[in-house]
Amino acid sequence: MSTMFSTMEYRLKAAYPTIVFPEGTDERVLEAAIRLAKEKILKPILIGDKDTIQKRLEESGVSLENAEMLTPETYEGFEELVKMFVERRKGKVNEHEAREILQDVNYFGTMLIYSGKADGLISGAVHSTADTVRPALQIIKTKEGIKRTSGAFLMVKEDEKYVFADCAININPSASDLAEIASTSAETARVFGIDPKVALLSFSTKGSAKSAETDKVREAVQLLEELEIDFAFDGELQFDAAFVPDVAAKKAPKSPLKGRANVFVFPGLEAGNIGYKMVQRLGGYEAIGPVLQGLNKPVNDLSRGCDAEDVYKLALITAMQALQR
């Protein structure tokens, strides 16, 4: 495991946050949660059949002081969650509808965060991204001044680490969306000890091509320039001009990044999704995420193809986001 994750483990043991796992009976989730509980890095709340979960915890020697098991049907505070949910949805659901909705483990888990019972949530080992994101947007909602959430991947190879965004949520972000994604991605980078140097990517560098697509990236850079930004950024840049100092010296000699970008904002979801998977598969980087950016409290999405190690690491990241808040 990289130094970054070892450092996370050390910091989290002191803070000991609580993270919800709505898919508590999934074997991969259980394996990761048991490891986290045994090492007392964070306290997992596992949602699902109590008999199944308790049997696995007991077999693994995990004390129930270090892990909690909940179900909507038996949770003592369920009616209070119903009332809070109705209020949060501002008349869009009644109490009867709320009771039905909160039987869904993702909605129930998200309400545990909203009510202050937990600090963060990860799901997606079994559920779709939409199943994870929808409750978060309806209940947790985005931070003040943030219009939409976005999905970043932390790309890790030994002690190298980069942030790629948006690779999961926004199909065709506008210029203002890209500026916002750049800001939230810089914030994500800092959570993981990265001093953000943000490149807004394109197939063009500094006007080498002209199109609506390149104009959008240039406009995003202009919007950032009008704000009080506390991180280095530049665009529009081709990837080599953002990442290779020798190329940057030729293509973008005045760029403040000087070919040393570590946060990459893609112009659209198509490029971002393809890009991170190429770096993962061809470059041998570990892709951790997507980390959902811009929410009031951390909710993150697993891939349905994840393994227990992926669950473990995303739980660490989610807990670190909670700690950063």
CATH number, domain of 89, equals 3.40.50.10950
- Is the domain of 25 the same as that of 82? yes
- Residues 223 and 165 occupy one common structural domain: yes
Do 129 and 170 belong to one domain? no
Do both 191 and 229 map to the same domain?
yes
Q: Based on the fold, state whether residues 124 and 222 are members of the same structural domain.
A: no
Neighbour-count burial of 75, counting CB atoms closer than 10 A to its CB (0-12 exposed, 13-18 middle, 19+ buried):
middle
- Provide the strand spans (E) within the chain: 18-21, 43-47, 68-70, 120-123, 150-157, 160-165, 197-201, 232-237, 263-265, 286-293, 299-301
| pLDDT beyond 70 at 1 | no
158 and 2 Cβ atoms separated by less than 8 Å: yes
Q: Are 106 and 165 in the same domain? A: no
Q: How far apart, in whole angstroms, are the C-alpha atoms of residue 48 and residue 240?
A: 47
Q: Give residue-wise pLDDT tens across range 42-51.
A: 999 999 998 8
* pLDDT tier at 63, thresholds 50, 70, 90: confident
Q: Looking at the structure, tell me whether residues 123 and 209 fall in a common domain.
A: no
- Residue 256: the pLDDT is 96
Least confident of 51-65, 167-181, 217-231, 232-246: 51-65
Q: Based on the fold, state whether residues 50 and 163 are members of the same structural domain.
A: no
Q: State residue 159's pLDDT score.
A: 85
When pLDDT is cut at 50, 70 and 90, the band that residue 62 belongs to is confident
Structure tokens that stand for 256 in this block: 């403040």
DSSP state of 136: I
For residue range 264-296, list pLDDT tens digits in order.
999 999 999 999 999 999 999 999 888 999 999
Domain of residue 66: give its range: 1-141+295-325
Q: Can you tell me the mean pLDDT for 238-253?
A: 97
* C-beta of residue 246 within 8 angstroms of C-beta of residue 259: yes
Question: What per-residue confidence (pLDDT) applies to 60?
Answer: 85
Structure tokens at 306: 């994840």
CA 309 → CA 36, 180, 225, 286, 292, distances in Å? 11, 31, 40, 11, 19
Q: What is the CATH number of the domain that holds 222?
A: 3.40.50.10750
Number of domains in the chain: 2
Q: Are residues 73 and 158 in the same domain?
A: no
103-126 residue pLDDT tens:
999 999 999 999 999 999 999 999
Q: Is residue 82 domain-shared with residue 69, that is, in the same domain?
A: yes
The span from the CA of 85 to the CA of 111, in Å, is 7
Are 9 and 35 in a shared domain? yes
Q: Mean of the pLDDT values across residues 24-53? A: 93
Q: Residue 251 belongs to what H/E stretch?
A: helix 245-251
Residue with tokens 């002191």: 14
Q: Is the domain of 289 the same as that of 154?
A: yes
